[in-house]
Chain A
Amino acid sequence: MRRILIRRGLQSLLVALGVGLLAFIITRLLPGDAAASWAGPRASADELARVRVQLGLDRPLPEQAVRYIADLVTGNWGTSIHTRQPVLSDVSGRFMTSLELVSIALAIAALIGIPLGVLAASWRGRPPDWLAGIASSLLASIPVFWLGLVLQLVIATQLHWLPVAGRWDRTLNDAAVAATRTHMVLVDALLAGNGTLFVSGFSHLLMPALVIAAYPIGLFARLTRAGLLETLGEEHVRMARATGYTERTIIWRFALRPSMGPVLSALALVFGFALGNTFLVENLFNFQGLGSYAVDSIAALDAPSIAGTTVLVALAYLAANLVVDLLRPVMDPRLREAGR
C-alpha cells in the first residue's frame, strides 16, 4: 500500500512538472508582447527594454522555463495584467469561490443521479429504466451555456423562483464584503452567523450549480445502475435475498455501497469536468469565480493570469485524482487486499 502511495505521488509530481512546462509554453506563445502589455501603450523604447529585463524576457528560453517553474513552486506566480494584483492571490480566492459552486453541483448530482440509477436498476428493462436512460443521454448532450440561458429564462425571468444572476442579494452587499474570509459565501455567512446572507447565497448558487450538475447527474445514474446490476448478481446479495430481506433493504443496505466503485472512480473526472464548465457558466450568472476570471483574462490576453488559472486547475485536478485513488480502498475493502 505504501509503495503504491509513493509511486503515485512521484508520478503526480512528474506530471505537475509537465503542467508547469506546458503553462510556460502557453505564456511564451501568447500573441502580443508581454513587455508591451505590461508597460502600457505609451511606453518608450527605453522603458520597454527595461521592462523586458525586469520580466526576464531577455534570457534564453530554457533558463526562462526553469525560472518560471521555480517561481511557480515558490509561490511567485507573477502579476496579473488586467487586475494588476498578484496572480496567486487572485486565482486562489477565485478558486475557492468556484470550488463552492462545483461542490454544490456535485452534491446535487449525487443526490439526484444515484437514486435515479437505483431506480433504473430495480426496474431493469422496464419503462422507468428506459426513461432514466433517455434522461441521462439527454443530459450528456445539452450544451451547458445554453442550459444556463434556458433555466434563466424559465426559472428566473418567467417563474421568478430563483434570482437571475449574482452571488447574493445586492442589499446584502456590505454584509457579504464584511464577512469575506474564505471566498465561499455559504461558509462566510456561517462564520459570521448571518442567516439572511446564507439563504441569499444559496438561492443564487442553486441555478448555476444545477446547470453544472446536468451532465454528472446522468453519468452518476448510469454508473450506479451498471454497478448495482453487477453487485445484485453476487453471492452475498443472493444470500441476503434467501434470508428473506425485502428487495429495497437488499439494495440500500447491502448492494449499494459495494456498487459505488465506478461512481467514485469517475469522481475526479467529473470534478475536472465541472471545474472546466465554470468557464462557460459563471459569466452567464455574473458569478465572480475562477471561470469568469479566466474568461476575462483571455479577453485581455493576460498571459500570467491564463497560465496561473491553467496551472491551478490542473493541480486541483491532479489532487482530486490522487484523493480518489486513495479513497477507493477505503470504500471497497477488497481493493485493500489487492493493494498489498
Chain B
Amino acid sequence: MSGSGGAVGSTGARGEGFTAPGGAGASAARSAPGRVIGYIVRRPGLAFGLAIVFVLAVGAVLAPVLAPFPGDAGNDTNLLAALQPPGGLHPLGTDLAGRDVWSRILFGIRISVGVSVVVIVASLLVGVPVGLFAGAVGGKLDDLLMRIVDIFLAFPSLLLALAIAATLGPSMEHAAIAIVVSWWPWYARLMRGEAAAIRGRAYVEAALLLGIPRWRVALRHILPNAIGPVIVQASLDLGGVILTFAALSFLGLGAQDPTPEWGLMVEQGRTLTSTQPWVALFPGAAIMIAALAFTLLGEGLRERLDPKGPARP
C-alpha cells in the first residue's frame, strides 16, 4: 500500500492508522508510541490479549528450544512412557503413544495458530479484491457478485467448511482451503459495503473527474480508506478460525497424526477423559487461551475504530 495515497484519502474519517485519535493533537507532549501504550494500558482486555499473543509468538518461534522432547511433536513414540500423569519429566503428562503433551502443545502453536493466520490472510486476499471490485464498480456486476456471496453465506460457516473438507478428503491443507472457502464471503461483503460508501465521497468523484482510471482510484483512494474495519474484523475472526480449524481436526477432517494439532490432540484423548484427563484437557485449554487472546485483541481494536461495530459469530 503506497503512503502517498493518503494525501487526498485522509479526508475520509474512518480507517486511519492506530496513532491518530479522533480528538486531533490533544496531547502534544506525549509521543505517538507513548499514546499507543497509554491506550493499551487503559484497556486490560486488550493488554491481556496482546500479552498472550506475544507469548504464543515466542512459543512458536522458540518451540525447538523450549520443548523438553522436540521429537515427540514428530514421529517419535515412546510406548513405555505412555499415559504418564503430569509431573517430573513431563509437566503436562504423556499421551497414548508416550509423547510429551507439553512439547506437542508448544509445537502445536505453529499448526493451530499458524494455519489459522494463513487461512485468515488467504480469506482476505480473496474477499477484499472481490468486495473492492463490487463496491467500486457497482451496477449489475455488483449485484451478481453479492448474490454469489449470499449463496455462500446461506450456510452456517462451520457446516460449509465441513462439507467442503469432507468433499476434498481429510488433510490439513484441505481443511484450510475449506475454511477459506467458507470465510472469504464475509470479507467480500464487508469490503463491498465500505467501498460503496466511499465511492460516493467527493474526493473519489474528483479523482474520477480528473481522468484517473477507475482501478487506480479504487486501489489508491478507496482501498486504503475502506480496509480498516475489514482488518479489525479479520483480527476478531482469528479466534473463530482457530476454533473452526481445531473442530475440523477433531472430526478427523483436518490435521492427521502425528501432527501436533490441538483439536486432533483433544480427539486422541477423548476416550481417556475419565481416566487420564490430561491428554485431552491441556490441548483444549490451549485452544481456548489462543482463541481468547485474539478475541480480546480484536475487540480492543474494534473499540478503537468503531465503538458500535457489528457483532457476529
Q: Which A residues have a C-beta under 8 Å from some C-beta of B?
A: 11, 14-16, 18-19, 21-22, 26, 29-31, 133-134, 137-138, 140-146, 149-150, 152-153, 157, 215, 219, 222-223, 226, 262, 266, 269-270, 272-273, 275-277, 279-280, 284, 294-295, 298-299, 301, 306, 310, 313-314, 317-318
Q: Are B311 and A141 in contact (CB under 8 A)?
A: no
B154, B163, B267: which contacts A15 (Cβ < 8 A)? B154
Contact A276–B167 (Cβ < 8 Å): no
Our pick among A19, A145, A270 for the contact of B247 (Cβ within 8 Å) is A145
Chain B facing A: main interface SS = helix
**Across the interface, which residues of B come within 8 angstroms of A299, CB to CB?**
252
Contacting pair A141 B239 (CB below 8 A):
yes
| Assembly CA distance A157 to B45 (angstroms) | 34
Residues on B with beta carbons closer than 8 Å to the beta carbon of A137: 45, 292, 295-296, 299
Mark B residues whose CB is within 8 Å of A. Answer: 45, 147-148, 150-151, 154-160, 162-164, 166-169, 239, 243, 246-247, 250-253, 263, 266-267, 270, 273-274, 277, 280-281, 284-285, 287-289, 291-292, 295-296, 299, 308, 311-313
- List, in ascending order, chain B residues with CB within 8 A of A279's CB: 158-159, 162, 251
Contact A143 B291 (CB under 8 A): yes
Q: B284 contacts which chain A residues (CB < 8 A)?
A: 143, 145-146, 149-150
Which residues of chain A have C-beta atoms less than 8 A from B243's C-beta? 141, 143
Contact status of A141 and B156, CB under 8 A, knowing A149-B284, A298-B251: no
Most buried by B among A16, A143, A295: A143
Q: For B154, list chain A residues within 8 Å (CB).
A: 15-16, 18-19, 314, 317-318
Chain B residues whose CB sits within 8 angstroms of the CB of A22 once the complex forms: 151, 155
CA gap between A153 and B239 in the complex, in Å: 25
Q: Are A306 and B163 in contact (CB under 8 A)?
A: yes
CA distance A152 to B266 in the complex (A): 14
Q: Tell me the complex Cα distance, A277–B157, Å.
A: 11
Instruction: Establish whether residues B292 and A138, one from each chain, have CB atoms under 8 Å apart when the complex forms.
Output: yes
Chain A residues closer than 8 Å to B289, beta-carbon distance: 141
Contact B147 A269 (CB under 8 A): no
Query: When chains A and B are docked, how far (Å) is the Cα of A157 from the Cα of B312?
Result: 35
Residues of A contacting B: mostly: helix
A223 touches B311 (CB 8 A): yes
On whether the beta carbons of A275 and B266 are closer than 8 Å, the reply is: no
Chain B residues within 8 Å of A318, by CB: 154
How far in angstroms is the closest Cβ of chain B from A171?
23
B167, B252, B311: residue with the most chain A Cβ atoms closer than 10 Å = B167
Considering only CB atoms, which chain A residue lies closest to B296 in the complex? A137
CA distance A270 to B251 in the complex (A): 21
Task: Decide: A143 and B247 in contact? CB cutoff 8 A.
Answer: yes
The answer to whether B162 and A298 touch across the interface, beta carbons within 8 angstroms, is: yes
- Residue from the list B156, B167, B295, B308 in contact with A275, Cβ < 8 A: B156
Assembled-state Cα–Cα distance A11/B284 (Å): 41
**Interface pair A219/B151, CB less than 8 Å apart:** no
